[in-house]
Amino acid sequence: MGLIGLVFLSIFGWSSFMLIKTIYFSDLDLTQYLFSNHEYCSESNASKDFKKCEKIITTYWMITFSIISLVISFITLFPAVMMKKKIVKP
């Protein structure tokens, strides 16, 4: 269980790094398009700004990967952290 937790914790770290890299260190300003109600990447706009739509969709997937991997790593690592050592009496 501990190994699975560490793998998902590393996936969480990688996806969080890629999320920050995609949002803040990109040549496009994506903050105005994230979680907005209008469909920026609809059929009519997707062909015009393919790179921008690709970055927006990548950001959504990295958010999804981060949340899922954080939950799975918490579920698998929490019992390992909370286990108490057995005291062996001589």
Residue 19 within a domain: yes
pLDDT at 42 over 90: no
Is residue 71 assigned to a domain? yes
Is residue 88, in this structure, part of any structural domain at all?
no
Q: What angle do CA 22, 48, 18 make, to 5 degrees?
A: 10
In which domain, by residue range, is 46 found?
Answer: 2-82
Question: 45 pLDDT band (50/70/90 cuts)?
Answer: low
- Number of folded domains in the chain? 1
- Asked if the structure places residue 28 within a domain, the reply is yes
Is residue 90 one of the residues assigned to a domain?
A: no
Q: Is residue 37 a part of any domain in this protein?
A: yes
> For the chain, what is the mean pLDDT?
82
Q: Which of 1-5, 37-41, 43-47, 59-63 has the highest mean pLDDT?
A: 59-63
Top-confidence residue, 22 or 90: 22
Specify if 35 maps to a domain.
yes
Tokens of 53: 């739509």
